[in-house]
């Protein structure tokens, strides 16, 4: 896997994205815990703790689309946290821990209510009076930023980092549903998403249109068929508009880092320019960092990304 060589014609953003996904990452001795949700479902959380049992700051890491604690970025960031004497927990979105969740609902890019509930419980049980930081990658980063904007001064975390968050879901969806991105990423994601959705349909007959799901070849078609109706949206366009995190950046009241590469194949550069143009409406506690390269969560090696995350979270 680590010997992957991208074709010469593959643009830099794609190359960095794929290289990061295939890069070797530290092994983490995760300890799993299951929580029952308020609505009768469950989520699984994987914990990384120092062998000496130290009770340092706690970092919650929310993974990306179809990600988990096994994702290379999660393992790299967790390893850096452990080196610093921190604790790290990866709450899995419903259906992402290796077992299908019980209810019809799944998870989505605007699932800020779920993140809020998780952070509230983490703070109460594992960081009462202490430090709780939050990191979100891609989909998890978008949902985290949306939560922070909605919560304002009531946010349950001390500092936060969002990495490669699709700040404008419509722009991201259009980028992923055409050209090389559709061939490289959309087909891969849809393969696992559709498999889970058909399993859910067998458990909950009539939940959505099976024939339409079978034909879905783009994120718009999948979200319009499955994601939107399962989570109370009128369709894919309504889901993308109401779940994008960019409109919530101006309402964030804790120190937060928004880290997006300008060559991210998941989000076109004009979408980042539009966010940068909002700078006057975004408070100084929100840092926009848009380097020229890095792909999608593919910043120069997992170690660099882990160090950048830790440096921001540990700043005074």
238 is catalytic: no
Residue count of the chain, please give it. Answer: 316
Residue 243, both tokens:
């779940």
Among 14, 243, 264, 310, the active-site one is: 264
Q: Rounded to an integer, what distance in angstroms lies between the CA atom of residue 75 and that of residue 72?
A: 5
231 is catalytic: no
Q: List Cα–Cα distances, 159 to 139, 176, 280, in angstroms.
A: 18, 30, 21
- Those residues with Cβ within 8 angstroms of residue 63's Cβ, 6 or more apart along the chain or in another chain: 69, 71, 74, 90, 92, 93, 96, 137, 138, 139, 140
Pairing of strands 286-289, 31-36: unpaired
Among 69, 97, 112, 138, the active-site one is: 138
Q: Are 133 and 77 in contact (CB under 8 A)?
A: no
Q: Are 278 and 183 in contact (CB under 8 A)?
A: no
Pairing of strands 42-48, 256-259: unpaired
Q: Rounded to an integer, what distance in angstroms lies between the CA atom of residue 241 and that of residue 244?
A: 6
- Those residues with Cβ within 8 angstroms of residue 275's Cβ, 6 or more apart along the chain or in another chain: 167, 168, 246, 249, 258, 288
Among 14, 63, 108, 296, the active-site one is: 296
Q: Rounded to an integer, what distance in angstroms lies between the CA atom of residue 97 and that of residue 14?
A: 27
- Those residues with Cβ within 8 angstroms of residue 164's Cβ, 6 or more apart along the chain or in another chain: 64, 137, 138, 141, 259, 260, 261, 264, 266, 267, 294, 296, 297
Bridge partner list, 256: 160, 286
69 is catalytic: no
Residue numbers annotated as active site: 138, 264, 296
């Amino acid at each position: 896997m680590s010997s992957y060589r991208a074709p010469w014609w593959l643009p830099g953003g794609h190359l960095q994205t794929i290289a990061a996904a295939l890069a070797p990452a530290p092994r983490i001795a995760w300890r799993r815990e299951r929580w029952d949700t308020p609505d009768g479902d469950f989520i699984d959380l994987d914990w990384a703790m120092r062998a000496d049992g130290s009770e340092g700051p706690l970092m919650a890491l929310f993974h990306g689309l179809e990600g988990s604690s096994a994702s290379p970025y999660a393992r790299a960031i967790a390893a850096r946290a452990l080196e610093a004497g921190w604790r790290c927990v990866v709450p899995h979105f419903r259906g992402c821990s290796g077992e299908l969740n019980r209810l019809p609902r799944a998870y989505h890019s605007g699932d800020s209510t779920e993140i809020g509930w998780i952070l509230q419980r983490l703070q109460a049980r594992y960081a009462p009076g202490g430090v709780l930081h939050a990191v979100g990658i891609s989909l998890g980063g978008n949902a985290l930023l949306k939560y922070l904007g909605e919560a304002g001064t009531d946010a349950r975390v001390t500092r936060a980092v969002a990495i490669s968050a699709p700040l404008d879901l419509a722009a991201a969806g259009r980028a992923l549903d055409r050209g090389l991105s559709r061939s490289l990423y959309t087909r891969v994601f849809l393969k696992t998403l559709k498999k889970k959705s058909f399993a859910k349909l067998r458990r909950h007959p009539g939940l959505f249109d099976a024939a339409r799901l079978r034909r879905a070849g783009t994120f718009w078609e999948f979200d319009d068929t499955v994601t939107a109706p399962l989570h109370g949206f009128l369709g894919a366009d309504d889901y993308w508009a109401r779940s994008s995190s960019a409109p919530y950046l101006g309402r964030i009241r804790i120190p937060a880092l928004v880290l997006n590469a300008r060559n991210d194949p998941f989000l076109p550069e004009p979408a980042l320019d539009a966010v940068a143009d909002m700078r006057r409406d975004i408070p100084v506690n929100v840092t926009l960092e848009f380097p020229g390269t890095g792909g999608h969560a593919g910043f120069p090696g997992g170690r660099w990304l882990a160090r950048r995350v830790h440096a921001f979270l540990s700043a005074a």
